[in-house]
Structure 1
Amino acid sequence: AVAAGAVLLRNEGGLLPLDPAALRSVAVIGPHATAVRVQGGGSAEVFPEHVVSPLAGIERELDGIAAVTYEPGLPASDRPEPLGRDRARDPRDGEPGVLVRLLDARGTELHAEHRLSGRIVEPSVPAGDAVAVEVRALFRPHESGTWTWAVGGWGDIALSVDGHEVLSGTFPLDSDDPTRVHVAPPLHTARVELTAGREVEVVAFRSLAPGTGVATVLAAAPPAGDPDTARAAAVAAARSADVAVVVVGTTEQSESEGHDRESLDLPEGQDALVRAVVRANPRTVVVVNAGGPVALPWHTRVPALLLAWFPGQEAGDGLADVLFGRAEPGGRLPTTWAAAQDDVPVLGTAPGADGRLRYAEGPHVGYRAWLRSGAAPAYWFGHGLGYTGWAYEELAAPAAVRAGEAFDVRVRVRNTGRRRGREVVQVYLTRGGSAVERPVRKLIGYAAVGAEPGESADAVVRVDGRALAHWSPGGRGWETETGAFTLLGGRSAGDLPLTAEVVARPGPDAAGKGSGNGSEHNGERSPLML
């Protein structure tokens, strides 16, 4: 699934896939290489028992073959993160994770369980008569200095570290947002001096007042680091390695359910890190770990650029499959990506002074807005490379069709590379001199084909009968202009080398009423709406 969704945006010189046998050392760089985002935040979030990081996946792939070094390249975030299995263990059984207890009014334990994370959305049993929840852990810091500790939740809260109470207070409920109450409560912090390697017991307590949920978080952040020192260490690692793999991405604070993004930029410091690593090692692969478009001002400087999205708990092994050629990246962009935020043609989407949001762009949204503006994005809707090359040789379609009737478009492609591959063939539609407002072109269908090196394959794209139609407000239905339409075939909204003409003639369903193929009637998403 990771490989099927990954989008290879750029691969100059065929840097990917990497050949393990040709490598002696690989530098893995970036905080997301060890703390990968596997899903979006908010109410859809789940908590897997394990997550394979990109670093772990690469280390496993190259075990006994090449040396793998890691540098975060950025100082640790000053925002406390829930305790994980890497440095915390259950005081009762010593297993990685934390101990969670539900307590009654006298402090008697009603229930206890082992958890792998300090983020407790809900215990495995109903709270019942419990009036408080307690989270305990033995914690071994990897660095000396001032650590920031936090407890998330509402009500009476206390925190002790190494037997000393460092936080105590009452924090009343101040939100009716269900996600904030039951999934991501606010953090209340305290600072504590710790010594590297010296284990301490940490105990978090919160009362369970009615209406405040049971979500409780025990989190920590290491001492603040120096950005220049962290980047210099990453540059040194990249310079001494055969290949550098930099994993960058968004954070829960910059991209998540519950709030709008204010910027397309990667969080502070990541762009500078990529530029510095590429200068140190021209054989650099950048992996983007994000759920939506981000600005890539350096994209033309890196030879290989892979979009991993939020790849799920097997992220590392799946990415290793792609990086080392065990699987071909199979994804294609569902959005158009800009090099810089200022290039995006539609940004002003705030309501006016009257509180109303006017959709003045009409049908010109997404890639259609880019086409109308004439601006060139970094990567078009539909773009995505594989590990072989393709020649687009022929597009064949009926010379004429009756309005409202479906038809087939056949596109022949040939594998020009040296390994088997898969190509997603896309067909778009345009009409010059139309009497109605239309996008410059629109996607009307696509099909995936595979072929061995040197072989050709025919992609048959079924075009819905309504693809040529437009909505008529006056006629209160779909209508089709008769005359010539142009079909374009290729690999993205901006790369369409093949064309053919099809003429729409009047038919019994010229108004488009009831037209369409089975895909629209059985609930599947139709590409006609893209």
Structure 2
Amino acid sequence: MKHTELIRQMTLEEKASLMSGKNFWQTQNIERLGIPSIFLADGPHGIRKQAAAADHLGLNESIPATCFPTAATVANSWNIELGGKIGRYLGAEAVSQKVNVLLGPGINMKRNPLAGRNFEYFSEDPYLAGKMAASYISGIQTYGISACVKHFAVNNQEERRMSIDTIVDERTLREIYLTAFEIAIKEGKTKSVMSSYNMLNGVYTNENIHLMREILRNEWGFEGVVVTDWGGSNDRVDGLIAGNELEMPTTAGETDEEIIQAVKSGKIKEEVLDESVDRLLELIFATEEVYNNPQKEFDRQEHHQVAQEAAEESIVLLKNEGNILPLHKNKKVAIIGEFAKEARYQGAGSSIVNPSILDNTLDCLEESGIISMGFESGFDRYGTKNQKKIDKACALAKNSDVVLLYIGLDEATEAEGLDRHSMMIPENQIELLNALYQVNNNIVAVLSCGAAVEMPWINKVKGLVHGYLSGQAGAKAILRVLTGAVNPSGKLAETYPIKYEDTPSYNHFPGKEVSVEYREGLYIGYRYFDTVNKDVLFPFGFGLSYTTFEYSKIELDTEGVTFNITNTGQREGMEIAQLYVGCNSTKIFRANKELKGFVKIFLNPGETKAVSIPFDDKTFRYFNVKTNCWEIETADYEIMIGASCADIRLQGVITIEGTGAPLPYDNEQLPSYYSGKANIVSLEEFERLLGCKVPAAKWDRSKPLGYNDTIAQCEYAKGGVARFAFKLINFSHWFLRKIGKRSTANLIMMSIYHMPFRGIARMTGEVINMPMLDGVLLIVNGQFFKGLRHVLSEGRKRAKTAKAKQKLAQTTKEA
């Protein structure tokens, strides 16, 4: 331990106090020993340090900061150096706002297109996500602060996120859901990790010894701090035993007492507590330069320019029929769509940023050189149908050469705490597009959303520019792509299926009650579509340019692959070359191909460059469930260089000597996995893959409700008051949606409906404690008067204790 001498001077009570927050965003301090508090703030794509009352839902406005493009957007750049640059600027802003720990980046896999936080995550591919995350982390930590990679792990749905049990086999866990974290932690050297809300195979992640001790600590050698997601602690002592140091937010000393009693009873050794204290102290002192440096305002305009550069490199050109883009300078253009007036540039929830500057399309038109014929909103932002708006838009489109149509998903559709209900964009936008097509078929759609959407309307647009959620400078960046000032170079970091039903996890998303089963195994995203040769709308890695590139002269050896790329077009541009590897053996089931490297290069017209992509320790490995180790199979491997996973330009074969491990599977027992057709897997076959029985996925409605049951389960409560409360919550949600207050309605789902009862205590700090919650549960389970007496009695005790603490603190201060 690094801080043994300091820890020796601490009382047991002081050690325990450090293990949970002082308030909503700060850690506890110990003045007599010179241990300061540190400040944690949300910030995957911009600092969210709240000036007013703290919350975890993005309700209260934060101090202005640069809103960079979201992770889902920047992943389309495939540019590690750009990720590092964004990280450095995020780190500089964190220092300027006295933030020690920046809570990001988020790197969970995009298992399903409807997952509510997909806009915060990089990719469906762990290699791409891991490399981008590592670059962000390195950049953020340049300034001496800490990044906090999240949410560890397999946190892939928002519905019931604080209690859902994720059932996944070990190989899929390692290869798909943990590889990005492994890369981020080993290469990015993050100082902190955030545990996720959910359970993993029956154990909450922050209490999961296999995940936290065996893999994170022992296998990967992580020596930093693990912090819970806000309100994500279930059993505080079990979490501490697993190595989860910091619980956030504050519990007003309630869980401190649990730790103290656990040490005194021998349930946990004080040496284990000391280890956790030591790691937290290291984080505190390693980031204390934040306080030692004089506060320095960042250059808002410079940071805004970096946000614009990031957006420009991340925009994806998906369609360009008849070279309608870039727009010709003499074309008269109609600007249509609500998002042109008020840009859709970020997600909603804990990552929401108060932008320091905000570009909007209409404000940037003159500078872009576009000849605008005018603007019409065309549709209501939140889905209400309005024929008058459509008629006005069509009248404008009739008299224009080209229609720029700004469409996408609204803020109430993509938000933390909620999964989307469908992959469609709102119907009123599609009606507008259909109407415009009747009067002018020269339509260029500009799409703004943070995740994949269905596009049954794709044949009615000649151009399609996808800006994703491109941050505060995204509107100007998109105009620069539309006019050709910037040659688009982004490529998709996720697959766009033709329809949602084609998605491999369609039958098992989201988990509605107790658990969610990852029956598709390894086959998420392109791994599934490519293996079973399923048509998609746009493949992983796809993106168009205003120039063309030719690949040639592939050479292979055991160190890597080299090849040439030539810009065969008429203008400069950047190309993303992707390395995929496929194993020719059929002894172990695998995807047809997997991304194992990539590079982005700039080329002038006619220029040729030699490109090298080295192999690394992840190029040929697979996780063997018999040996419980990473192994390599002796086989011939296809080495494929592509412009996307579906556009392979160069191929070669290399023979690799393996590790000689025994085969982990019987192919006759796992036909769906060996064929890749893992979209419909029987329970029996999934259990053979797991190597154990699958737990019951439904609630046991005969049991009384407990700490980890959700408010939604009050529908089945024995207590009439609880059932009435459930009906009231449901009615409120329905009514608010009916009158158009969708954002407010969403808050009910986010902060009440799917909240487990323990979350009431964990998220309210001093207002409701666990003994009071016991009384609430008595009421819920049909013992109204007993429960009410218990709540009132424990409330009085809590108030008395709080008053005594306040008096003691005042006396100590005066002394």
Regarding TM over 0.5, the answer is yes
Structure 1 residues 107-506: aligned runs within 5 Å: 227-350=386-509, 355-398=514-557, 401=558, 407-506=559-658
Q: 2-side partners of 1:275 and 1:504: how far apart?
A: 54
Contact 2:381–2:410 (Cα < 8 Å) also in 1: no
Shift of 1:234: 1.2
Kindly tell me: are residues 315 and 465 of structure 1, through their superposed partners in 2, closer, same or farther at Cα, counting changes over 3 Å? closer
Q: Which structure has the highest strand share of the two?
A: 1
C-alpha contact 1:56 1:316 (8 A) present in aligned 2: no
Alignment partners' CA distance in 1, 2:469 and 2:618: 34
Q: Using the TM superposition, give the Cα deviation of residue 353 of structure 1 relative to its aligned residue in structure 2, in angstroms.
A: 8.5
The alignment covers a number of residue pairs equal to 352
Residues in 1 aligned to 2:655 and 2:417: alpha-carbon distance in whole angstroms: 48
Counterpart code for 2:566: R
Counterparts of 1:363 and 1:77 in 2: how far apart (Å)?
A: 36
- How large is the Cα RMSD of the aligned pairs? 2.1
Matches for 1:24-103 after TM superposition, within 5 Å: 25-62=332-369, 66-75=371-380, 77=382
Indicate the percent of aligned positions where both proteins have the same amino acid.
30
- SS at structure 2 position matched to 1:57: helix
CA distance in 2, matches of 1:40, 1:76: 15
**Shift of the alpha carbon at 1:410?**
1.4
> Which amino acid in the other structure matches residue 44 of structure 1?
S
2:781 matched residue in structure 1? none
Could you tell me how far 1:307 is from its partner in structure 2? 0.7
Query: Which one has more relative contact order, counting CA pairs under 8 Å at least 6 apart?
Result: 1
Q: Is the 8 A contact 1:31 1:72 kept in 2?
A: yes
Say which SS state the counterpart of residue 506 (structure 2) adopts. coil
CA distance in 2: counterparts of 1:510 and 1:17, whole angstroms = 55
Conserved? CA contact 1:449–1:458, under 8 Å: no
Q: Kindly indicate whether the alpha-carbon contact (under 8 Å) linking 2:365 and 2:372 is maintained by their aligned counterparts in 1.
A: no
Q: Which residue of 1 aligns with 2:313?
A: 4
Seen in structure 2, the aligned counterparts of structure 1 residues 76 and 465 have a Cα distance that, compared at 3 Å, is closer
Whether the aligned pair in 1 keeps the contact of 2:504 and 2:520 (CA below 8 Å) is: no
* Residues 426 and 352 of structure 1: CA distance in aligned 2, closer, same or farther (over 3 Å): closer
Q: Call closer, same or farther: CA 1:420–1:76 in 2, change over 3 Å.
A: closer
Contact map agreement 1:411 1:425 (CA 8 A) in 2: no
Question: Given the superposition, is the C-alpha separation of residues 310 and 46 from structure 1 closer, same or farther in structure 2, using an over 3 Å criterion?
Answer: same
C-alpha change, 1:384 and 1:257, in structure 2 (3 Å) is same
Structure 2 gap segments, 5+ residues each? 1-309, 662-815
Deviations 1:281-305 (A, max 9, x none): 2322111110111111122332211
State the alpha-carbon separation in 2 of the partners of residues 298 and 409 from structure 1. 40
Task: State the 1:348 CA deviation.
Answer: 2.3
Shift of 1:503: 0.7
Q: Residue in 2 aligned with 1:104?
A: none
CA distance in structure 1 between the aligned counterparts of 2:341 and 2:485, rounded to whole angstroms:
22
Partner deviation per Cα, 1:247-293 (whole Å, 9 max, x = no partner): 10111221111111111110221122223323432322111110111
Q: Which runs of 4+ in 1 moved over 3 A?
A: 75-78, 350-354
TM-score (norm 2): 0.41
CA distance in 1, matches of 2:429, 2:358: 23
Q: Could you tell me how far 1:68 is from its partner in structure 2?
A: 3.4
Deviations 1:203-254 (A, max 9, x none): xxxxxxxxxxxxxxxxxxxxx8x62222122122112112110010111221
Looking at structure 2, the residues matched to 354 and 34 of structure 1 have their Cα atoms a distance apart, in angstroms, of: 41
> Secondary structure in 2 aligned to 1:459?
strand
2:350 alignment partner AA: S
More helix by share: 2
Amino acid of the residue matched to residue 365 of structure 2? I
Question: Contact (CA 8 Å) 1:26, 1:242: kept in 2 or not?
Answer: yes
Task: Tell me, yes or no, if the aligned pair for 2:639 and 2:653 is still in contact at 8 Å.
Answer: yes
Q: Determine the structure 1 residue equivalent to 2:205.
A: none
